[in-house]
Structure formats: structure tokens, C-alpha cells
């Protein structure tokens, strides 16, 4: 049996980890098979006898991607739009008219084409690749993957937060331009909505605070693959003032809230998406 190696720029315990790395950790947990984790600065060569799961890879040397493309011994877990090589360092198709990326700004197209499979978080994300004529065996997870611990925490939050909520609107305070805190604030001011800014804090504390509100205003600047913030706001039963320009609002489960939504996200992850991914692993 080939060794399975998970390649990623970072993992969940690293300082720069975010939602992508949390999803990777959930995937590794649910696959329940021996997997070696390797970061961008820990790989010298590609072993043709190994099988690779390739996640965020912006820091990997081009020769590693070229070797993978040649050996075809990998699948991709796409958290982003990494077929875009520029301009600048961004990977946002929305900076181009109609979200159509000019050929000069596309790269590693054969990397997608030669993968055994390319997994996306939502149909929306998958559709932007197809719209840009990126070829590959594309499969949507149907949600961002969550861990068993996260599912348990969500259920606990839902059960313990059924009391009265403030009528104010919540806005996430973030220095990350793509989260567009300014846009959300401007909207609230223009619409004369009474709102509170929720400052940065540890994730569990943030969700506990968010649960005090009945609605979230969220205007992301990029086509997020799914958006954990939007998904978790719906889990907590918040209404959303948000444009349908990213993954989560387009999925059928976005109409659900509370434990019904947690049950559906768990069903999709455990019964559908992870078994499908596992089929592509050696002896899967």
C-alpha cells in the first residue's frame, strides 16, 4: 500500500493557520487512515511510489508541483482559486470582468487536469473553475469539512443559547480587507441599522458572542470557497444580510439553522464527501 502524504503550506497548529487548515484537520480526522503531514519547507522531492493529497500550496516550489503533475499520483483539496497566478499576489477572480481570468494570469492548469480528482468545498467554487475553462475531475464536498469536536461544540452552543437576543446587527471586526468590515459598517450606517462590532477573539469566544445576536451583516470582497463565518452564523440561527457572491449561500443547507443544520453538515461530511474522497486513496 502506498504511503499517503498530505501536503500543505501550514497545518492547524501553526501560527498562520486559518479556516483552510481547520478543514484539512477535519479531513484527516474523518479519513481515519494513516496519513503523513508534510509542510512546504519539509519536502525535497516527490516520491512516485507515494500518494499525495495536495491542499494549500502557494509556498511550494514549482518543481514539486511539476513532479506531481508528471507522476499523476495525487488529488487536490482546493481551498482557494490557485489557478490564478496574478496580478500581484491575489487569487481573486472577481478582479477580472465577469470573473473571467485572462490566460496570461493562469498557471499550473495541467496540475488540475492530471490530478486523480479535484475536491471543492461548494458548487459555487467549482463553477468558477469551470467558468474559466480549467479542466479536471471536479467534485464538490458540498460544505467546508468540520471535525467531530466542532460538531459537538456547535450542538452545545445551539442548546445553551436559546434565550433572548439583542435586536442589534453583528459585524465582524477584521483587519483582513477581503472580509470587508468597512463595507458592512457602511451598509449598516446607510440603512440606519443599530449594530455592534465584534472584535477579534478566540474562535469559541467569538461564536459565544455572535450567538447573542439575531443577524449578521457580511459583505466579503472575494468569492470565498464556502465561508465558515456565514455557515456558523446560520448554525447559531442568525439571519444574514449578505450577497450571494460566495459559496455558502448557494448550498441547499443554507436555509437550515440550529441542530438541523449541524445534522445536515455532519451527514454530508461523514456519509458523502469523505467516503468519496477516500475512494481515490490507495486501497480506498
Number of domains in the chain: 2
Same domain? 98 vs 187: no
Residue 88: predicted pLDDT: 62
Same domain? 39 vs 15: yes
Same domain? 116 vs 227: no
Same domain? 256 vs 273: no
Residue 283 forms part of a structural domain: no
CATH of the domain at 93: 3.40.50
Per-residue burial over 41-64, b if 16 or more Cβ lie within 10 Å, else e, is eebeebeeebbbbbbbbeebeeeb
- Least confident interval from 163-172, 181-190, 238-247, 270-279: 163-172
Query: What pTM value is reported for the model?
Result: 0.95
Beta strands in the chain (DSSP E): 4-8, 36-39, 51-54, 74-77, 118-120, 138-140, 169-172, 195-198, 215-217, 239-241
Residue 283: predicted pLDDT: 77
Same domain? 117 vs 238: no
Residue 210 forms part of a structural domain: yes
Residue 177: predicted pLDDT: 85
Residue 193: predicted pLDDT: 97
Does residue 40 carry a pLDDT above 60? yes
Does residue 76 carry a pLDDT above 80? yes
Residue 186 forms part of a structural domain: yes
Residue 63 forms part of a structural domain: yes
Domain span including residue 97: 4-142+267-278
Same domain? 134 vs 273: yes
Grade residue 35 by pLDDT with cuts at 50, 70 and 90: very high
Residue 254: predicted pLDDT: 97
Same domain? 55 vs 94: yes
Does residue 89 carry a pLDDT above 70? no
Amino acid at each position: 500500500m502506498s504511503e499517503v502524504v498530505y501536503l500543505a503550506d501550514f497545518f492547524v497548529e501553526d501560527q498562520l493557520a486559518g479556516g483552510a487548515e481547520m478543514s484539512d484537520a477535519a479531513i484527516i480526522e474523518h479519513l481515519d487512515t494513516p496519513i503523513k503531514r508534510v509542510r512546504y519547507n519539509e519536502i525535497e522531492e516527490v516520491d512516485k511510489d507515494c500518494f499525495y493529497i495536495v491542499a494549500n500550496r502557494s509556498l511550494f516550489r514549482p518543481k514539486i508541483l511539476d513532479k506531481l503533475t508528471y507522476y499523476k499520483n495525487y488529488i487536490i483539496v482546493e481551498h482557494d482559486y490557485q489557478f490564478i497566478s496574478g496580478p500581484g499576489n491575489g487569487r481573486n477572480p472577481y478582479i477580472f470582468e465577469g470573473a473571467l481570468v485572462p490566460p496570461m494570469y493562469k498557471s499550473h492548469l495541467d496540475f488540475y487536469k492530471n490530478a486523480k480528482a479535484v475536491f471543492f468545498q461548494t458548487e459555487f467554487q467549482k463553477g468558477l473553475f469551470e467558468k474559466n475553462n480549467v479542466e479536471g475531475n471536479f467534485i464538490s464536498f458540498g460544505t467546508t469539512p468540520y471535525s467531530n469536536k466542532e460538531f459537538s461544540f456547535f450542538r452545545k452552543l445551539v442548546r445553551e443559547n436559546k434565550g433572548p437576543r439583542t435586536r442589534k446587527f453583528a459585524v465582524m471586526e477584521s483587519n483582513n480587507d477581503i472580509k470587508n468590515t468597512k463595507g458592512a459598517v457602511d451598509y449598516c450606517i446607510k440603512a440606519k441599522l443599530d449594530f455592534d462590532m465584534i472584535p477579534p477573539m478566540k474562535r469559541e469566544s467569538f461564536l459565544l458572542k455572535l450567538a447573542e445576536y439575531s443577524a449578521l451583516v457580511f459583505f466579503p470582497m472575494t468569492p470565498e470557497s464556502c465561508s465558515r463565518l456565514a455557515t456558523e452564523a446560520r448554525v447559531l440561527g442568525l439571519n444574514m444580510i449578505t450577497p450571494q457572491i460566495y459559496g455558502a449561500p448557494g448550498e441547499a443547507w443554507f436555509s437550515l439553522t440550529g441542530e438541523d443544520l449541524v445534522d445536515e453538515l455532519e451527514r454530508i461530511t461523514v456519509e458523502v464527501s469523505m467516503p468519496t474522497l477516500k475512494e481515490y486513496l490507495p486501497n480506498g
